[in-house]
Structure 1
């Protein structure tokens, strides 16, 4: 049992005002501990000002900030609480809180708060150290650390697992640009993903999720699969590479590639659709989003036939993509209507927000290519998924080490939430 020092006793002796005391208990967890301690405090009419409890492998950490009425003997209350803790198998400590300390604590509630999400196949001490050091260098304080991922088995292959830890951060970074660069650098160096979000109401009420299709929902680029069927794979690849070098804009590169498909039988479309593989975690992500009431959409520079196929397969609410012109069962080599390019995706995203009657900050956009950047920038949460380096560097949030279902962690959804009734 912890005994009170003379200095601590003096702080508690003033019977003219309520006493503020932080009680801290550690030990082996078992049912009834919190009930027993608060029963004692209730006997003396104490107020619970703040409380935090965590259990790690049956080890309890309990902190309670209590206000003891001036009418009570605060020294007696504290000593009885610590004595009871000892009887319950806990080591107890106490700290009187001065008015100055309390006022400083109250003043901190107006400070900015952020959420840093760490994603990796397995979280290492090296990763943890690097992240916590970076936060300290930015003058940021970690309030709470929470594991969102499930409990890994004792023997496991890290390539088949996933791990996520969420940091609740208080304060403003000293240099936001340096922080962003550090997040990207650590992600590359330590094989992890780090997502930095402001912890505001919008983070908790995202409502609509828009996906790119090729190399995001799907592993493949559909245009490449069509080109193989048409026997023009190499030509299409050359145009794609030229576009990536900036020698062609998206519209021109799309027209040239589609022109090479002229004469291809439309009968190959369902065959291609059936063999397309979904990205890791795509089905789990979308089914979970639907379960929690999110609306979903595909905004793609690919083709509407395959978007509609995925819409039926995954129960997606909206699809916007380019339509291949087909005449007499053959592709004409043209697309119909307005091309869905980078700017069009961003416009469609805003139209989607109006149609679903949500604020732009309630939108989530996910994509991998440069033509997704305007869409990612306009969404409340824009995520570059297994993206090209230039996209990863430009996007605010990235997922590169895990499947699409890792997005659930960025929404604060835990693995255990997926199995809850």
Structure 2
């Protein structure tokens, strides 16, 4: 698809969102760098969008595109940096050792639920619930809220008919978390946000918590699922399924280049009329960041042949975006600890795990934004649950 887009349109592609809403999809590596490196010309300010008068109130992608809000995701300039500094301060308090302990404990609990069967569907049974359960703990939510949170965020990303209803539940739960932590603070991200010396409104806290929960959940789940798919279907990683761990980081990095969890990110809006790769962009036009397309740009990345291209250790991909609005480094570290820990625990517990269906039958979730697997059925030798023994 991306090869055909490049042949027909080049690195900046005219696309239509549901309802024939026009936008530009940036799939060139150099053009992606140009857009993400210039927050003045291409700010993340949805208030600039020239299509607002034409959108129905129930447009399904509203939660993904968003309206102008006082959150880290949609503010610009000094106001964006104010939110970002507060969030980075709260994320700094996450202990890597504690995060790894939470990941291993919750991974064991999930594996205990299916290890005795000898078969599992790794996306629904493992890759999807693990990150949200870990994130719920470090955000300050009880374990019981993990599953409902997962369902709401998945509905948002898929952009279906239930997206707006899910967004309402999600927003209400984050507002309630702010109230709970103001009354009874703990050793968690939400409490550290509230304790930050510069004051924010409850709406700002709520929106920033929503940004953390949504951005950190599905992306990490898809990172786990896509990495496991690669390791189960590519002979280069077969040795790691015998319990060795040396290939896990390599598989995870390759996925960020060639099968990135976030395929398309919305977005940036042109602050004025401009030109990008000889394409005329009007003030207020929406630019969708085609992270997957840019990562696979043949001008900078060799995917096959005699070399592994950027697979081996190079992290100059766009999977965490780039520039002023990229995923905070602390959040990237949290995602990596959860993903790597989850994969390693699974391979330790079930060393002979193997795909139970033909690779060609595997499918993706119906989302233009997220590139995760819909299912990953596997088989393995049945093993007893660990319970509290680990």
Establish whether TM, by shorter chain, passes 0.5: no
TM-score normalized with structure 2 length: 0.23
TM-score (norm 1): 0.22
Question: Over alpha carbons, which structure has the higher Rg?
Answer: 1
Write 1 or 2 for the structure with the bigger share of strand: 1
